[in-house]
Amino acid sequence: MKFEQIRGATSIVTYAGVRFLVDPMLAKKFAYPDVPTTINCAKGNPTTELPCPVDELFNVDALLVTHLHFDHFDEAAKQLIPKDIPVIVSNSKDAWFMNDIGFKTVINAQDGSSFKDIKISVTDCEHGDGDPVVHKIFKDKGIDGTAHGFVLESPKEKGSFYLAGDTILYESVFEAIEKFKPYVMAVNAACAQMCPSHSIMMGLDDVRVLCRYVKNISIVATHLDCVSHATVSADSLRAYGKLENLTNLFVPAQKECIEF
């Protein structure tokens, strides 16, 4: 399989010969405002430009969308992505949304599904709703804190691929690892925070614990250097990985493609 980092949580994953555009946020730099009241507000979002012309990203077989927060499927994606590209989502609410905006083929993988002979399973995330402080902030802002991950399985590959999605490291992540036994795992590792000390995705310590727990799994860190409420950069994670000798950690640069 191949993992090509684009920007933030957006990547292109090639698995069993099938190309998936993951979590497309396609707007220009600072097209959206910063995330208010968060720990590290920048001038706006996204905080970097796309590293390629946007239409280069549409040479794919399907979209894989973990949830509908702006940094995973934004207004630009809604407007620009051709609606004849199949889109795979994790629940009925997101499926309804994709149908409503005109996608011709929408696959809800909530109870298990397949695409081009690839088995697709949905995994759970802890994206802040389990934290009473973040839950209250989400509720006040009208934000749905629900997020999911995906697992891809095919006999054509060395093993499964686990896209963990927006989650901290918690019990359900370990359960998914034990159940699906991936050989490659992608984690969103920017340690975005809705307020100080209340993280809504993995950060340095999560990555360290995970890498040492699963030394036989290649861990790809993504969702870095793109949102105003992030507290971990790609450079800082690379330095930390070197310091901690995390030999199974990969932190690709924008447009870098890693083959496993």
Residue pair 163/9 in contact (Cβ under 8 Å)? The answer is no
- The pLDDT of residue 14: 98
pTM of the full structure:
0.96
> Using one digit for the tens of pLDDT, what is the confidence trace for 39-86?
777 789 999 999 999 999 999 999 999 999 999 999 999 999 999 999
Residues 6+ apart with CB under 8 A from 78: 101
pLDDT at residue 227, as a whole number: 96
Q: What is the pLDDT of residue 195?
A: 85
Judged against a pLDDT cut of 80, whether residue 37 lies above it is answered with: no
Q: What is the pLDDT of residue 143?
A: 84
Give the C-alpha separation, 253 to 222, whole Å. 9
pLDDT tens digits, residue range 176-228?
999 999 999 999 999 999 888 899 999 999 999 999 999 999 999 999 999 99
The pLDDT value given to residue 38: 81
* Confidence band for 36, pLDDT divided at 50, 70 and 90: confident
Q: What is the pLDDT of residues 109-149, one digit of tens each?
A: 999 999 999 999 999 999 988 889 888 888 888 888 889 99
DSSP code per residue over 105-134: -EEE-TT-EEETTEEEEEEE--SSTTSHHH
Backbone angles phi and psi of 48, in degrees to 5:
-135, 160
What pLDDT was estimated at residue 247?
Answer: 97
Residue 155 φ/ψ, nearest 5 degrees: -65, -10
DSSP, residue by residue, 41-71: --SSBSSS--SS-GGGGG-SSEEE-S--STT
pLDDT at residue 90, as a whole number:
97
Task: Name the CA dihedral angle for 204, 234, 74, 210, rounded to a multiple of 10 degrees.
Answer: -30
Confidence at residue 113, expressed as pLDDT on a 0 to 100 scale: 95
Q: Which residue has the tokens 């804190």?
A: 145
Residue 248 above 90 pLDDT? yes
pLDDT (average), residues 166-174: 97
SS3 27: coil
For residue 209, which of 178, 253, 170, 243 has the smallest C-alpha distance? 170
Evaluated on CA atoms 7, 159, 157, 111, the torsion sign reads negative
Give the pLDDT mean for 15-26: 98
- 96 pLDDT exceeds 90? yes
Determine the pLDDT at residue 197.
Answer: 83
pLDDT at 97 > cutoff 90 = yes
